[in-house]
Amino acid sequence: MTATVLTRDAHTTAVRLDTGRGQFTAETSASVPIDTGAAPWVPATYALAMRIASSLEIRTEDGVPANVDREQRAGAAAAGAIFASWFPEVDAVSMDAGLAGNDVVRVPGEGRGVGCFFSLGVDSFHAVRKHLDEITHLIFVLGMDIDDHDGSAADLAVERAQAAATDLGKELIVVRTTVRRVSDPLRVPWPRLYFGPALAHVALCLAPTLSAVIVPSSPPVTTRHGSHPYVDPHWSSSRVRLVHDDDDAWRPTKIAEISDWAPAMRYVRVCFQQHAETYNCERCFKCVSTALCIRVAGGSSEALSPDVDPDTIRAMPLAPQHLHRMEWIRDRLREQDDDPSVLAALDDAIAGAHRRSRLQGIADRVNEEIYLRL
């Protein structure tokens, strides 16, 4: 696969990918000047090549090899080796690029700041609270969970991110990227694999402003995931250090730890059902479980009310993998002598999910039996 870094302007960088499956172009722009060289495209293209090619060649627009520093070369190989050992659908690939001449011993700050990815979610607020004194910039990205083309949903999210950053006394950087519009058609799994390299791409783009970028932790460290404390630091360059906030706290613990923090409770956004007018839909599992965790912790939130209606609890789509958390919530609320109508609704929702799980188990066994007889 060949990746040609294209010249745009001081705020925009792009790459053209010539793959065995056609030609694709990805573009990333930011509200601040960005690194328009090859460095930001190393994680973004290396992770794609691992899925669809046996080698990666990174060039400039003049057709000559683009320069990549030795830290990035070694890091990409290390990250690739971990992904290849985790995921059967990818292989480590060789990278063909020029060697950038540098012998940097440590990342020079040069008056640059420390950024933190900031989606307005629980993990973001948890990481921001923990590193509040170090962080100078919050990074809000469109084109990952929220598409830039989602119109009012994207506008509302940017507006809230700006308001939250102002409350927190931090500068907001808004980044727009189309990398996912390349990785999705090439079937590079998101978030299981491409999420981490895509975040690293954005972090490296911000080299003129930031010398380190914090990636809030998401799944437990035992989960093989695209953004992981073992992998993310390997995407660092000699100019930008990536720091995975390796706080392995359980999500309800994280929620408890931000439930007494006004900025988090004012702006938290956990919902992936993108209803612009409601911000959080307050009906899906993520919304309801987060609201109930805030209730367990005794918090209150303008963005996600912990006063959840019993009918909403009964109507919530509850999958078998959600049962453990919902049972934990019910048991805590029962210990706190919470409203009996809320407890009864939780009992009904949990019993319904157990019933569906048993039926699914029977259906799976019947299917297997039929398959074996064919």
By the 8 A CB rule, do 67 and 99 touch?
yes
- The CB-of-290 to Zn ion minimum distance in angstroms stands at 9
**One character per residue 219-258, x = contact with Zn ion (rule: CB under 5 A):** ----------------------------------------
Q: Which of 231, 147, 145 is nearest to 196 (CA)?
A: 231
Q: Which is nearer to Zn ion, 319 or 366 (CB)?
A: 319
Piece of 133-141, 177-185, 263-271, 311-319 that binds Zn ion (CB under 5 A)? 263-271
The DSSP letter of residue 97 is: -
Residue 23: count of CB within 10 angstroms of its CB: 9
Nearest-angstrom CA–CA distance, 169 and 161:
12
For residue 31, the cross-strand partners are none
Q: Which is nearer to Zn ion, 288 or 342 (CB)?
A: 288
Piece of 161-169, 177-185, 254-262, 285-293 that binds Zn ion (CB under 5 A)? 285-293
Q: Which is nearer to Zn ion, 135 or 271 (CB)?
A: 271
Piece of 95-103, 189-197, 282-290, 315-323 that binds Zn ion (CB under 5 A)? 282-290
By the 8 A CB rule, do 269 and 119 touch?
yes
Piece of 185-193, 278-286, 289-297, 304-312 that binds Zn ion (CB under 5 A)? 278-286
Q: Give the list of residues 6+ apart from residue 283 with CB closer than 8 angstroms, or none.
A: 273, 312, 315, 316
Nearest-angstrom CA–CA distance, 276 and 174:
18
Q: Which of 78, 281, 323, 333: binder of Zn ion (CB under 5 A)?
A: 281
Q: Does 1 bind Zn ion (CB under 5 A)?
A: no
- The CB-of-270 to Zn ion minimum distance in angstroms stands at 7
- The CB-of-294 to Zn ion minimum distance in angstroms stands at 14
Looking only at Cα atoms, what is the longest distance across the chain? Answer: 70
Piece of 55-63, 97-105, 245-253, 264-272 that binds Zn ion (CB under 5 A)? 264-272
- The CB-of-359 to Zn ion minimum distance in angstroms stands at 25
Q: Does 305 bind Zn ion (CB under 5 A)?
A: no
What are 40's two structure tokens? 């930001």
Q: Does 284 bind Zn ion (CB under 5 A)?
A: yes
Q: Which is nearer to Zn ion, 69 or 282 (CB)?
A: 282
Cis peptide before 191 (omega within 30 of 0): yes
- The CB-of-151 to Zn ion minimum distance in angstroms stands at 19
| Burial environment of residue 374 by CB neighbours within 10 A (0 to 12, 13 to 18, 19 or more) | exposed
Q: Give the list of residues 6+ apart from residue 101 with CB closer than 8 angstroms, or none.
A: 67
Q: Does 271 bind Zn ion (CB under 5 A)?
A: yes
Which 125-144 residues touch Zn ion, going by CB under 5 A? Answer: none
Nearest-angstrom CA–CA distance, 356 and 318:
9
Piece of 57-65, 85-93, 151-159, 274-282 that binds Zn ion (CB under 5 A)? 274-282
Q: Does 287 bind Zn ion (CB under 5 A)?
A: yes
Nearest-angstrom CA–CA distance, 236 and 202:
11
Q: How many residues bind Zn ion (CB under 5 A)?
A: 5
Q: Which is nearer to Zn ion, 234 or 283 (CB)?
A: 283
- The CB-of-153 to Zn ion minimum distance in angstroms stands at 12
Q: Give the list of residues 6+ apart from residue 368 with CB closer than 8 angstroms, or none.
A: none
Q: Does 146 bind Zn ion (CB under 5 A)?
A: no
Q: Tokens 């706190």 belong to which residue?
A: 336
Dihedral sign for Cα 53, 30, 215, 207, please.
positive
Residues binding Zn ion (CB under 5 A): 271, 273, 281, 284, 287
